[in-house]
């Protein structure tokens, strides 16, 4: 890591640490002030927001005692489609133009215009999003991930070197790879491994490196835990962080059995960086309230009640300036805590509000035909209930025209694929969908996508998914 960036990240991390036990009133005041600064900046510098936002007077919301979300309520959500189609208008620096940034990424990256770090999403759910960040923004991004690592019990020490292994994407256009490259320092030795590489290669590399902190996609952690239990992987991490995918109860159990530690869940997105993370109490994820405003809403954009699950999230990144991220729509289903649990203080002493967890993306919900010609929405939990108890190394449900394909990685002896397919078909039928044709296919390993992820549900928006 560059010494100037290292100094800035350490200073930022100290500042963030000091906010984690603020009383709720101080957190709300901080949010109101930062929202006002963001909106003023966006209205002054971004052609898109100049037309969208009313003229703002200095400090016109900072002194208000209302909820921070009140200042945002009249602003329409920003979708990824709008972000990318109107990229040049949203950007606040006239030098940042989408065509130039895309050429820059195609040429291998580096530092765009000599001052911007650029990350891109995998585009697995459609067009990819591209996020340029200046030094101040990039410092906040790295510090947000450092916070999650620290909450998991791993903090770089000046007297000795810590070792962190990250198993995700090694493409430098992906934020995780950019952060991994940036945090390399004499105090934190970081090695990155491609989640899409042959498993034996990754296992051998981890055995040589012996990481203290293991960070990986949730699905990859489950695979590595099985390798540890089988004796092929022999590492002793003192902390394990899951990111980028829903972390299920079954995945947590496999990590616990393999390494004797509790897995820490981290919620992040390329467009927003770190959003929430678990502490040692494991009573939900603390939202990074000092860095983002997270609104958990239903399909109509209305806040969901305590204990319910939202079908989308609207996130406002308080430090965003190059490409202001204001009420950006994430198609993540976030489960809120019941009111009594949300109101109870966390044993860790942190006062940031908590969410129960991230169940997945709304995009993962399968849309299957009903007998009456309508459409049934089939939530991924339907498949989890049937398949998580099945002794396999991994599974994946793929929607195909006329059928559902279920990939079963290395099923144990005695697993009856036909019987399992019938159980899945019956479970889907109970949701009100027409009984689908289900094909169970045995594979050596669940194939990784372009970014190395192995999603449990692969929806096809053009397919009906059921046979007549």
3-state secondary structure of 384: helix
pLDDT at site 182: 60
CA 137-221-400 angle, 5° bins? 95
Instruction: Set out the domains of the chain in order of their start, with CATH numbers.
Output: 3-362 (3.40.50.12780), 365-458 (3.30.300)
Residue with tokens 């004796």: 231
Q: For position 179, what pLDDT does the model report?
A: 67
Q: Which of 216, 274, 279, 275 is nearest to 247 (CA)?
A: 216
CB 352 within 8 A of CB 288: yes
Residue 443 and residue 82: Cα distance in Å, rounded?
39
| Cα-based distances in Å from 376 to 370, 435, 439 | 6, 11, 20
60-to-48, 57, 64, 184 alpha-carbon distances in Å = 21, 5, 8, 42
pLDDT of residue 125: 52
| pLDDT averaged per 10 residues in sequence order, the chain, 468 residues | 76 94 96 95 96 62 64 92 96 95 83 90 68 94 91 69 80 62 65 82 95 87 90 95 83 93 93 94 96 95 94 96 96 93 95 92 75 79 77 85 87 89 90 89 80 73 47
Nearest to 147 by CA among 14, 305, 339, 4: 14
Q: Tell me 157's DSSP state.
A: B
pTM for this one?
Answer: 0.80
d(CA 189, CA 47) in angstroms, rounded, equals: 42
């Amino acid at each position: 890591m560059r010494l100037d960036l290292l100094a800035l990240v350490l200073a930022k991390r100290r500042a963030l640490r000091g906010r984690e036990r603020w009383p709720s009133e101080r957190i709300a005041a901080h949010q109101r002030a930062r929202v006002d600064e963001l909106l003023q900046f966006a209205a002054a510098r971004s052609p898109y927001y100049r037309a969208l936002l009313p003229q703002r007077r200095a400090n016109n919301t900072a002194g208000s005692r209302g909820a921070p979300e009140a200042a945002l309520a009249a602003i329409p959500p920003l979708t990824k489609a709008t972000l990318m189609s109107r990229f040049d208008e949203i950007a606040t620096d006239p030098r940042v133009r989408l065509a130039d940034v895309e050429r820059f990424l195609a040429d291998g990256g580096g530092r765009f215009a000599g001052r911007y770090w650029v990350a891109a999403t995998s585009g697995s759910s459609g067009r990819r999003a591209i996020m340029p960040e200046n030094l101040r923004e990039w410092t906040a991004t790295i510090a947000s991930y450092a916070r999650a690592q620290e909450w998991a019990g791993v903090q770089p020490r000046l007297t000795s070197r810590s070792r962190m292994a990250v198993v995700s994407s090694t493409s430098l256009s992906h934020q995780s790879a950019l952060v991994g490259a940036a945090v390399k320092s004499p105090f934190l030795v970081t090695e990155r491994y491609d989640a899409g590489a042959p498993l034996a290669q990754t296992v051998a590399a981890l055995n040589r490196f012996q990481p203290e902190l293991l960070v990986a996609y949730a699905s990859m952690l489950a695979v590595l835990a099985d390798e540890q239990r089988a004796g092929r992987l022999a590492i002793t991490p003192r902390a394990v962080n899951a990111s980028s995918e829903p972390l299920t109860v079954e995945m947590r159990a496999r990590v616990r059995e393999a390494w004797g530690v509790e897995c820490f869940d981290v919620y992040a997105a390329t467009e927003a960086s770190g959003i929430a993370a678990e502490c040692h109490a494991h009573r939900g994820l603390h939202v990074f309230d000092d860095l983002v405003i997270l609104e958990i809403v239903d399909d109509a954009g209305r806040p969901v009640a305590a204990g319910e699950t939202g079908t989308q999230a609207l996130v406002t990144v308080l430090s965003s300036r190059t490409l202001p991220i204001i009420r950006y729509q994430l198609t993540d289903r976030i489960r809120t805590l019941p009111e009594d649990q949300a109101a109870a203080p966390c044993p860790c002493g942190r006062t940031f509000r908590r969410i129960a967890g991230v169940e997945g993306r709304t995009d993962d919900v399968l849309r299957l035909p009903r007998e009456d010609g309508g459409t049934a929405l089939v939530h991924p939990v339907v498949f989890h209930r049937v398949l998580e108890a099945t002794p396999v190394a991994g599974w994946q449900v793929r929607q195909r025209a006329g059928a559902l394909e279920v990939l079963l990685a290395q099923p144990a002896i005695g697993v009856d694929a036909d019987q399992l397919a019938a159980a899945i078909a019956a479970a889907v039928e109970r949701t009100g969908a027409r009984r689908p044709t289900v094909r169970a296919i045995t594979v050596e390993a669940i194939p990784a996508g372009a970014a190395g992820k192995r999603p449990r549900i692969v929806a096809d928006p053009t397919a009906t998914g059921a046979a007549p």
